[in-house]
Structure 1
Amino acid sequence: MTSPVSLYVYDLSNGMARQLSLQLTGKQIDGIWHTSVVVFEKEIFYGQGINITAPGKSHHGQPLQIIDMGETSIDEDTFNDYLNEMRQHYTADKYHLLEFNCNSFTDDCVGFLTGRSIPAFVKDLPTDFLSTPFGAALRPTIDAMYRRPGTSAPPSVPTPAAAVNASPNPQLAASILQAVASQAQSNGYSPQPATESLTSPIHIVTNTASFGNFLKSHRAAVAFFTSETCPPCRMIEPVFERLSEEKGLADGRQGAGFAKIDIDGVGSGLASQWNIRATPTFLFFLDGKKLDELRGADANELRTQIDLLLFQAYPPHPHTSISMPTIQALSLNPIIFSQVPALETAFGKLSSFIDEQSTWADSATQSRASVKGVMSSNVLPYLKSRFQPPTPPPKVLPSATPSILSSWTQASSAIVAELPVESLFPLVDLWRLALLDPAVGNWISSLPPGTSSQDPVNIFLPKAISAQDSTGSKGARNYILTVLRFLCNAFSSPSLARKMLRDNIPRSQISAILIPSLLHSDPLVRTASASLAFNIAAVIQKDRVESVRTGRGIQADSEDYLADWEVETVSAILEAYDREKENEEVVHRLAAALAFYLRLSPQYESQIKPLLEVLQSREVLRSKLNKGPGWNAEGGLAKKDVRKLVEEISTKLCV
């Protein structure tokens, strides 16, 4: 006789993840999934230990989705024995929102009952979340939530400084996470105090299906086959736990997954499958395939084998072992254009352009009067209060509110639609100034998808691209120059910079304005474009340096969206460097940008290095060290720090 098995799926965010995940994390996440298994007319789930209710009667209410997981031939008494043994492993103090949660439990149960696994969209949620900049930044906080023993209250969620830079609205994200954590671990009863902290991300594996899922979800994996009656196992277990802390996936770093299987209990089937005849035995896996085996309680050999496994799984970037003092000393701070224009003069000029435009369409989204009203009544007072404050200035400068920015964006869209390009530079310059206010970049980066008409970046870039056709026009030159400076300041906002780089449309538009401007005949345009190239490279380099520092490592698949774009940009920078004959500061900024692109690029060996050889990059770089045709400096580059930088790039990165 068989019994049906179902998976009940709940969304702990109550729809907030679907609505807000894209703007908070840069990735669409449709729900924060909680699951339970329903069999023998009971709903079983893990939170504060293992809990059993009538189907649909838990504190989570009615499930969002019910998934048929097939049938089981296991009888109810056998399943109850299995649950009693599982209660020793799935205790309240071991719960972890990402590593060891309700879905870990249901995957084990479904595997025991049917030999199947729960759906990938549920199992992959932690990986999807951690792959976002905000998820990686918030990971240490989530770990800390579940490493504080002796508390009966829901864990609090302090928002780390890194998360502030990784999400446009970290306070909202943290509050959502707090609610999710409270919902996830609550079971409708008074929670019991934790008896011990979760010391390491160790997965308790009980059956073939859950072990298979464990191997699929970890590129590098270590399995510890142990026994309650084995004295050497008790000796080596603390070492295994410490190694899982040091070399596991905690804090967003690249590491191994660690699993523990008790061969005397429900894990006996796995022991038989893998021919485990003695304990302790450790198996080491890479991409799901067994690499090696270690028998006995040899702590030094265990550490050596794990280090070797991680080296094979995540080989270090070849440049991390090369000393590059000049490149490493380069500042990662963005180049910004902070000059404050005479605001009344700028507004007067823009107002006169609006009044002089004879073809303002009757069908325009906003009339001349309404546009000028927004600019004079909302925008000008804000800019004056922040950038021309009274003397002495207030301790806290006022920031732009969403209502000011929304009305300003709508007015800007109407102005750009009606005025010719030569009349638009005052408007862009005011936005360039406003981007020095962190609230402006955060607001733009938080705009949801499908609202490009409300995004100043999207409003100004298409016009700048089309203006490049008017190469001899002074008005087009002014507009392009101002947009480049506007973009430089935009890249001073970490959240906005990441959004622009990750979104294909603004990234391609930025390339379309940046690359031709690097070769522009006007030296100020070349200076601004070199500054923008540096700022973009600095943002990318900062993330890569942090990945190396924290041990997360840099893998090509983590930057797939940048691969072709980076090759094109490196090629353009080298050409601009080669052609620059006048301005040493432009050469310096281009060389620094190039250094950032080359040093830790995950595409270096596969794409960048062959490109450098084809372009004869070493010869191109070193050509500026000696006096050459058209180069003004006697004996080549004059500044010692620029010469050192060029020499270091050419000798250590272009080989």
Structure 2
Amino acid sequence: MSKVQLYVYDLSNGLAKRMSRQLTGRQIDGIWHTSVVVFGKEVFYGQGISITAPGQSHHGAPLQVVDVGETALDEDTFNEYISEIGSHYTADKYHLLDFNCNSFTNDCVGFLTGGSIPDWIRDLPSDFLSTPFGAALRPTIDAMFRRPTPGAAPTPPPAPNPAALQQAAAASPEPALASALLQAVASQAYASGSLSAPTSVPRASAPGSSTVAAPIHICTNNSSLHGLLQSHRIAVVFFTSATCGPCKLIEPVFEGLAHQKTQGPNGGRVAFVKVDMAMGSGGQVGAEWSVRVTPTFLFFLDGKKQHEMKGVNAPELRTQIDLLLYQAFPPHPHTKLSLPAVEALSMNPILFQQVPPLDTVSNKLVASIDAASSSPDMQAVKKALTTAVLPYLKSRFPDTKTGGKKPAVPATPQLLTSFSATTKTLVATLSPAQLFPLVDMWRLAAVDDSAAANWLAIATNPDPDVLQLLLDKALEVLDASDPMQKSAGRSYILTVLRLLANGFAHPALARALLSRTGPGGKRVQVTRVVVATLLYEDAAVRTAAASLAFDVAAALQKSRVDRLRGGAALVAVEEDEEWEAELVSAVLEALSQEIQSEEVVHRLVAALAFLLRLSPSYEGQLAPLLEVLQSRETLESKLHKGGCGENGVQKPEVRKLIQEVAAKLCPTS
């Protein structure tokens, strides 16, 4: 028996671990390249199949060494296997996402041990491509590895479309960093007409991608296929051969379906597999499943064969795959409902863009600073506000009465660092009643300037974390037992709510506000603020709270709709049934108490609709809760006398929305 090991390398040299959350909104610990070490040699795929002494490849020392088992095969058998599959694992077939080093090592491990490489390596491309940044970068990666037409001389791939690069960069919370990385990928794609060295292409694209096999898996032995059947709910296996003419006709359809059907929330649980009957032990794989002709397609659900299809029949192939997906992942019951009033609602956030007299705002804050202290530190704070922050805001929001619009001052890191330090000092010195002009400045900066919004979103960038400071102070006011303290903090709470609502104008900040984990995640604090303010005595505060509740629900709804359509959500919101139940309960309680403002009722009902529609936990968690809380009765009461105003809700579109949500999304109690 000989030991089989997997050498694991991070092609990003640690950049992925440090930057992935900023670039993609998701933590990716490495851009993994792997090789198989057995019989005293290291074997890997890049510029064809290469063999070196362990640890002596161009990748250097491995980051990790994973023991994947032992093999009873002898070295000659393995060498023969490598020789057979060498005609398939050629340089021109290499693709960073679809057919790469990890495709090769997974195949080899299956042949040697009957196992597979770890899931955290194998499944990374689906995770990456499900992010807006990954989805936008996909065409650039495809351009880098576009295969030449058979018989044609290799030519450099065309330079990627600058607009596509800009779109990909904009999908990241760090557009400047993302743009630089994408330009590096584009330069490499344009400069490298052929894959002249196994390190050049993977290293150039490492920060924005991964080297793991994506939608299409290649199997050359029984063990490899069995591993895929065990690790995926659905598997579609395409038996083909190089000499099969009909196979070449159906292959593009199969590949297109593989890319299409592995998107969305369940994409990582679906495997599309190719088995070349003439390569490696592909003939034995076919024999196990009684496959004798090509093309043949086998369809598996939970490891059990469901159907078999022979020949070229693209409509039937699509039908069988859709049927399999329906069996494994039945559609949400809400997709069958007619909800015209809900579907007519805009999912754009409600924003607070009013511009107050900026000199008045500044003077009010300066007066509070002067009253608090005349120390050198406070004088420095006052200087920063009046000579840097105020001119910056005035350039972004010029006074139309004075005319002569000047160029907007950019939000440079120096300015934002100074603004953040000033905020830290003032939050520690002034009372909430004195702080609201400062929060109003951040409100304007966040809604107008993506640089300022991104700064607020990334807690590891500024010191201090401005949002955390402002949220902590808001919760301090809301949790106070003294009614006078709460009353004095009313303006501060109102302005914080408006700042948070404006955060949904920018994907990066919206992700931070709704993220449950990570250094910048503020979901817990934002939820506490929303729940506490929905029942606030002041009508303006309740309106702002209802607006923020709507923005949260709209982002959640848009994330669900995007996933349902198989696309990557710009703001992918992590579902949590307890969190959603808390929000639903708070919104219903606020609705039951709101008898004054039809505008607040409208926003609350819209928020409730978005929280409920397409929720994965609707049937198991939310529907029983709605029944207990008498949600239908609460909604319908708003239509009658005294429910909202003297005669109930009057606007026809609001009445229609209430009736639709009550009748179709709320069960009878």
Q: TM-score, normalised by structure 1?
A: 0.87
1:478 alignment counterpart: 491
Q: Give the Å deviation of 1:600.
A: 1.9
Cα distance in 2 between the residues matched to 1:369 and 1:186? 60
Q: Give the Å deviation of 1:175.
A: 4.5
Structure 2 counterparts to residues 430-579 of structure 1, below 5 A: 430-436=441-447, 437-448=449-460, 454-468=464-478, 469=480, 470-472=482-484, 473-504=486-517, 506-550=522-566, 561-579=575-593
2:326 alignment counterpart: 311
Aligned AA (1:475) = A
Q: Give the Å deviation of 1:339.
A: 1.5
Q: Give the Å deviation of 1:324.
A: 1.8
1:115 alignment counterpart: 114
2:204 alignment counterpart: none
Cα distance in 2 between the residues matched to 1:459 and 1:371? 17
| Residues 521 and 213 (structure 1), Cα distance of their counterparts in 2 relative to 1, 3 Å cut | same
Q: Give the Å deviation of 1:279.
A: 4.8
1:393 alignment counterpart: 405
| Residues 251 and 444 (structure 1), Cα distance of their counterparts in 2 relative to 1, 3 Å cut | farther
Q: Is the 8 A contact 1:46 1:90 kept in 2?
A: yes
Q: Within the alignment, does 1:621 sit opposite 2:635 as a pair?
A: yes
Q: Is the 8 A contact 1:584 1:637 kept in 2?
A: yes
Aligned AA (1:483) = V
Cα distance in 1 between the residues matched to 2:665 and 2:170? 30
1:197 alignment counterpart: none
Instruction: Name which of structure 1's ranges 337-346 and 287-296 shifts more when overlaid on structure 2.
Output: 287-296
Cα distance in 1 between the residues matched to 2:120 and 2:562? 29
Cα distance in 2 between the residues matched to 1:143 and 1:421? 53
Aligned AA (1:433) = L
Q: Give the Å deviation of 1:215.
A: 3.0
1:350 alignment counterpart: 365
Identity %: 54
Cα distance in 2 between the residues matched to 1:368 and 1:190? 55
Aligned AA (1:518) = L
Aligned AA (2:419) = W
| Residues 299 and 333 (structure 1), Cα distance of their counterparts in 2 relative to 1, 3 Å cut | closer
Match 1:414 to one of 399, 412, 425: 425
SS of 1:648's equivalent? Answer: helix
Cα distance in 1 between the residues matched to 2:33 and 2:372? 59
Q: Is the 8 A contact 2:246 2:295 kept in 1?
A: no
Aligned AA (2:606) = A
Cα distance in 2 between the residues matched to 1:75 and 1:596? 60
Q: Is the 8 A contact 1:89 1:204 kept in 2?
A: no
Cα distance in 1 between the residues matched to 2:465 and 2:513? 11
Q: Is the 8 A contact 1:471 1:477 kept in 2?
A: no
2:13 alignment counterpart: 14
1:327 alignment counterpart: 342
Structure 1 runs of 4+ with >6 Å offset: 189-192
1:283 alignment counterpart: 298
SS of 2:36's equivalent? Answer: strand
Question: C-alpha deviations, 1:152-194, integer Å up to 9, x for none?
Answer: 46985865676455421145246446768969995627999xx
Match 1:188 to one of 197, 200, 207: 197
Cα distance in 2 between the residues matched to 1:258 and 1:294? 15
Cα distance in 2 between the residues matched to 1:353 and 1:93? 69
SS of 1:454's equivalent? Answer: coil
Cα distance in 2 between the residues matched to 1:397 and 1:276? 68
Structure 2 unaligned residues grouped into runs of 5+: 149-153, 202-213
Aligned AA (1:211) = L
SS of 1:654's equivalent? Answer: coil
Question: C-alpha deviations, 1:238-257, integer Å up to 9, x for none?
Answer: 33540441354568335542
2:103 alignment counterpart: 104
Q: Give the Å deviation of 1:219.
A: 3.0
Aligned AA (1:486) = L
Match 2:217 to one of 198, 203, 211: 203
| Residues 122 and 632 (structure 1), Cα distance of their counterparts in 2 relative to 1, 3 Å cut | closer
Cα distance in 2 between the residues matched to 1:204 and 1:342? 65
| Residues 408 and 521 (structure 1), Cα distance of their counterparts in 2 relative to 1, 3 Å cut | same
Cα distance in 2 between the residues matched to 1:559 and 1:493? 14
Cα distance in 2 between the residues matched to 1:552 and 1:166? 10
Cα distance in 2 between the residues matched to 1:563 and 1:153? 47
SS of 2:50's equivalent? Answer: strand
| Residues 216 and 383 (structure 1), Cα distance of their counterparts in 2 relative to 1, 3 Å cut | farther
Aligned AA (2:660) = E
* Superposition RMSD in Å: 3.3
SS of 2:514's equivalent? Answer: helix
Q: Give the Å deviation of 1:464.
A: 1.0
Cα distance in 2 between the residues matched to 1:144 and 1:328? 37
Q: Is the 8 A contact 2:9 2:34 kept in 1?
A: yes
Question: C-alpha deviations, 1:425-456, integer Å up to 9, x for none?
Answer: 1111111111122221112223328x7x6222
Structure 2 counterparts to residues 243-254 of structure 1, below 5 A: 243-246=254-257, 248-249=259-260, 252-253=263-264, 254=266
| Residues 4 and 575 (structure 1), Cα distance of their counterparts in 2 relative to 1, 3 Å cut | closer
SS of 1:550's equivalent? Answer: coil
Aligned AA (2:218) = I
SS of 2:348's equivalent? Answer: coil
Cα distance in 2 between the residues matched to 1:288 and 1:114? 20
Q: Within the alignment, does 1:52 sit opposite 2:61 as a pair?
A: no
Q: Give the Å deviation of 1:392.
A: 4.0
Aligned AA (2:604) = L
Aligned AA (1:642) = V
Instruction: Name which of structure 1's ranges 80-89 and 605-614 shifts more when overlaid on structure 2.
Output: 80-89
Q: Is the 8 A contact 1:48 1:191 kept in 2?
A: no
| Residues 415 and 441 (structure 1), Cα distance of their counterparts in 2 relative to 1, 3 Å cut | same
SS of 2:220's equivalent? Answer: coil
Q: Is the 8 A contact 1:23 1:445 kept in 2?
A: no
Cα distance in 1 between the residues matched to 2:182 and 2:81? 32
Q: TM-score, normalised by structure 2?
A: 0.85
Aligned AA (2:97) = L
1:367 alignment counterpart: 377
Instruction: Name which of structure 1's ranges 107-116 and 413-422 shifts more when overlaid on structure 2.
Output: 107-116
Aligned AA (2:508) = S
Question: C-alpha deviations, 1:321-360, integer Å up to 9, x for none?
Answer: 32222221211221111121222221221122122226x9
